[in-house]
Structure 1
């Protein structure tokens, strides 16, 4: 009797097990390696008060929507945040890990457990670690330029406060960007107290767009000589073009086509020139300075290459404070 019942129930048991396991099997046993290309981050040596964050990228490599239910940290030294709860197939989001340098000291590490409940249940573990040195403080903990107009020089600073050895010093400060220029000045040296001021300039040739970088402060410490200082901001162009890309479609060599775009400046301006390599650009010049111009140039392809073509459209304004905006031309050039 019992055997008959067991045999009768067996198909239901198999079906239940198949329902739970199939999504993982279909995705491959190591689906999370593709979805989470970075699973560990070392902050290195950081100063007290430093703004220290890392974004773990996550890409939905599955065929169904991902939903992240919650995240927790094994140590209060790190605060994790889910920046994108839902990810559609192919979409990328981020998990932010903030190292709490204000309240913790010494060597610290945490395991971040991310709970996913769609399209199946899984717990993903990410790890962070680092060393928060107690003798060195950045004030403020990072340098944030906010919005910077391209062509202008912007300056910000942060103080370095040190308490320890009387012979301690900063011997160098390095930048990864040629347009991000740091300078260093010692302001206090009294016994074991040493203070510096770090001044950073964003030069006028900085490219447009947001930036997130680190300066490397190099000290004469033997064990922990390098300490990062976070620098962020967004460089805005003084002249914007909309749309940025002009798709001209299929053309024959020598065929003229019209396009239309809008130029917007922070101040009133006139247009000096519009050029594009491989193209003849004819336009009606402006008659007075305005903050917004609607331009309808006539473009003729003058190159000798067929097939898909791409070129930068360069617009320059008049005057001593001339600024430049860049767009993009795309076209498919047919044979004669």
Structure 2
């Protein structure tokens, strides 16, 4: 009897352990899928350069994700959670800043992202790079800030070098057609040389966040390539907030209401709002404004099942703009 009891307790404990471990294992694999990019090498960078990289977060699930914290294994990198809550069907980012002003030489860090909802999970990201002391950028990067679509912008960075008297920049590698560059040597002497790098953002730049890199090619045989970070935000002509709409469970023929904020660069009128599989109604504003607060009524016409698709808003006029927001819903049987 005692042996049977012990066997029974052992089996029960093994079963409990298996159940307890299943969500964690499931969560780990599921959470890894949130980060399409898990490693980044900054390469060889200048001291005091503004060296950053945004790890994109893409939540392709039907559940909101909460990032509670992120820690770094080395002080050479400072991680920042830019999107604490990543809603279902939406995206976010985590910013890794390489601390080039206080660290030198070869450095790297593991970033551990801790997710506590809907279930606990950890995801590990990695950054590496080499911070050289003989090159200084001022400012530390090319930062365009917010730029309206179709506009041009221009920034200049000073590049200073101290070391060999024959050091020079021989080329600039640029694979981005909407970035135009020009380089001018401004001074040379006493084993020091200074350049001015001018970067122009053309009117062909796409809407969205700009995270690019130019590479200075030098005659330094040991470390010939030095990257220059280029960033900015080309604003959309029309945006919808929220960008992801979780309707929840509805029946075919059931109507739900959703408040939307639609913003544009210039005053506009709304021509139509459509979402495939839904009858959409709204009270069209009679006056053109740069911001509209709308109540949209959506009636489900889909067959039962999971729905995932865009709601599309179009403005009136010859130069009509289009904006989209993601709609998710669970269409259940009547």
TM range (shorter): 0.5 to 0.7
Q: Secondary structure at the match of 1:13?
A: helix
**1:263–1:228 CA distance, 2 compared to 1 (3 A):** farther
Q: Which residue of 1 aligns with 2:127?
A: 128
**1:66–1:314 CA distance, 2 compared to 1 (3 A):** closer
Q: Which residue of 1 aligns with 2:115?
A: 116
- Structure 1 residue 247 displacement after superposition: 4.8
Aligned length: 268
CA contact (8 A) 2:269 2:316 kept: no
Q: Which residue of 2 aligns with 1:221?
A: 220
Higher Cα radius of gyration: 1
1:19-58 to 2 correspondence within 5 Å?
A: 19-24=19-24, 26=26, 30-58=29-57
User: 1:68, 1:204 → 2: CA distance?
Assistant: 36
Q: Secondary structure at the match of 1:17?
A: helix
Q: Which residue of 2 aligns with 1:182?
A: 181
CA contact (8 A) 2:55 2:93 kept: yes
**1:227–1:245 CA distance, 2 compared to 1 (3 A):** farther
Q: Which residue of 1 aligns with 2:95?
A: 96
Q: Which residue of 2 aligns with 1:194?
A: 193
Q: Secondary structure at the match of 1:165?
A: coil
- Structure 1 residue 144 displacement after superposition: 1.8
> What CA deviation, in whole Å up to 9, does each residue of 1:235-269 have, x standing for no partner?
4569646467745899xxxxxxxx9887679xxxx
Root-mean-square deviation (CA), in Å?
Answer: 3.6
Q: Which residue of 2 aligns with 1:332?
A: none
Q: Which residue of 1 aligns with 2:6?
A: 6
> What CA deviation, in whole Å up to 9, does each residue of 1:269-315 have, x standing for no partner?
xxxxxxxxxxxxxxxxxxxxxxxxxxxxxxxxxxxxxxxxx9x9996
For structure 2, list consecutive stretches of 5 or more residues without a partner in the other structure. Answer: 238-263, 277-283, 291-311, 324-334
CA contact (8 A) 1:174 1:182 kept: no
**1:14–1:64 CA distance, 2 compared to 1 (3 A):** farther
User: 2:164, 2:271 → 1: CA distance?
Assistant: 57
- Structure 1 residue 126 displacement after superposition: 1.4
User: 2:76, 2:110 → 1: CA distance?
Assistant: 11
For structure 1, list consecutive stretches of 5 or more residues without a partner in the other structure. Answer: 251-258, 266-309, 317-324, 330-336
User: 1:64, 1:203 → 2: CA distance?
Assistant: 39
User: 1:178, 1:10 → 2: CA distance?
Assistant: 66
